[in-house]
A and B are shown apart, each in its own frame.
Chain A
């Protein structure tokens, strides 16, 4: 039964692909407009053999990771600062909330003007996208640490750094990790926008280039790659969550 349960999440994707392939075979789907899954897989094999796909995945992964680390750190620090200091919150929070809602596509011209057309502009755009979910979840995580625990810490006369290490940070961690998972998704969607400007490599470049020349096989292939990479990064984050928060489960059981 347990083994069967493992397959449940895959039922919908697999059924969708079967339906997609069948409609192409039967002829409901015009493969000139949208290719069949088999054609997409063939294109994937072709582009893997000539090295295009692995190269572009590697480049995108590099930009994504760098942007994630940069934006994640900034979001984390800002979230902490604003949760712990009223002055900082009054000063920064409204500004952050305003910037948060600007679509990345609208920011692209500004990023070209500010940071040019090289690698930094792409990494910064990803960093900006990633920053907000981490910021909000860090902030909320710290704000929602149980006041009882903080009071207990005060009773024990914990030092500020000990208080943070033993009570505030662990208390906020579940929320921060939710932010991380969400940010990983944002990371990929922002990257596709960032890679439309002066990129000669990367999945976003592949997608725009394919779109520009109506190369739907490559376009769908890139979409599938995004889906796979998105799922993969989420799985890693989920595992991290399980590992880091295993003490929580223990606590409940006790």
Chain B
């Protein structure tokens, strides 16, 4: 009995030791991660700028391209890229001054401005309306937007799908009250769609590309004609007003990065396959139907659409303040 206990003691001590050793290894991994790229001595007197991005977005492309970070260094800035899983937490970090730049879709900045934050637009991208769509299952009898009446439609409340769906329904004289809305995140919605629990799904690439390829989903309509579905680079009023040089650079080098992305589809596909874990044909479809580009914030089409989003969300009681989007634009 005694002997067995000693044996057990040794095993568990070893386990505890392995635990501590692994934790120490984790600490070392984190330390080397945070030191990455900042080993050079001249980076000490640079202003650190935290840039929030989401996987596979335009900011991610600017990060991969590298030109922006390189040029920013000449202006005295060190760009530190921080990854976010969704636009909402990115905006929380931005408006509480933990990051200085970030990229989101068209709805988070409207919601944020309506809640009284100091968020400002510092850049815009060209329309991605052909990468956002309403999907129905392969054998669905729904063939027009009017057919959605009385059906269950899945989308993420407060995402860019909200405005797109309202606008699309409007075109068939329907409102959200005529359908059964289901608030689902992307992965939950994908599963619900695959297993036939919902009749339609409003989503965007790469989720739509995956559903089309893996489940033979049919595209009921893209966002074209309903929503320009622009993406935006955001900052805070105070920070942006003091660093217009970096904002100008972002818009300038952003163009270079977008052009690079359009000309290097194979690199982009490879990166998406590796970093996003997408299947190759899904990444291919996603990249092939998207043209990346930077747009100007003085383009009235973009601003008018943002204003319309704000008004539509207000009319649908999704935000409780009427806002003027122009108040949140930094003049280039």
Contacts and interface: CB of A to CB of B under 8 A. Distances in A.
Interface in A209-226: 209-215, 218
Contact of A32 (B9, B99, B194): B194
B150 to A, nearest CB: 26
Interface string A46-65: 00000000010111111111
Interface in B222-273: none
A112 B82 CA distance: 13
A19 to B, nearest CB: 19
B16 interface: yes
Contacts, number: 111
Q: Which label, helix, strand, loop or mixed, suits the secondary structure of the B interface?
A: helix
A198 interface: yes
A212 B187 contact: yes
Chain B interface: which size bin? 35 or more
B93 A198 contact: yes
B82 A117 contact: yes
A65 B23 contact: yes
A209 B272 CA distance: 13
B75 interface: no
Interface string A172-213: 000000000000000000000000111111000000111111
A57 B22 contact: yes
B30 A62 contact: yes
Nearest to B95: A113
Most chain B CB within 10 A, of A117, A199, A201, A239, is at: A117
B285 to A, nearest CB: 14
B17 to A, nearest CB: 11
B92 interface: yes
Nearest to A60: B26
Contacts of B123: none
Nearest to B27: A62
Contact of B92 (A112, A119, A199): A112
Contacts of A108: 89
A201 B33 contact: yes
Interface string A110-137: 0011001101000000000000000000
Interface residues of A, number: 42
B33 A32 contact: no
B85 interface: yes
B23 A212 contact: no
Contacts of B157: none
Contacts of B207: 214
B318 interface: no
A106 interface: no
B190 A214 contact: yes
B8 interface: yes
A65 B19 contact: yes
B98 A116 contact: yes
A143 to B, nearest CB: 30
A239 B8 contact: yes
B274 to A, nearest CB: 10
A30 interface: yes
B187 A211 contact: yes
A218 B277 CA distance: 9
Interface of B: 8-9, 12, 15-16, 19-20, 22-27, 29-30, 33, 50, 52, 55, 82-85, 89, 92-93, 96, 98-99, 185-187, 190-191, 194-195, 206-207, 210, 214-215, 276-278
The 7 lowest CB-CB distance pairs between A and B, nearest first, are A62-B26, A58-B26, A59-B26, A113-B96, A116-B98, A215-B277, A58-B25
21 contacts: A32-B215, A33-B194, A58-B22, A59-B26, A59-B30, A62-B24, A65-B20, A109-B92, A113-B96, A117-B50, A117-B98, A197-B85, A198-B93, A201-B30, A211-B187, A213-B187, A213-B276, A213-B277, A215-B277, A235-B12, A236-B12
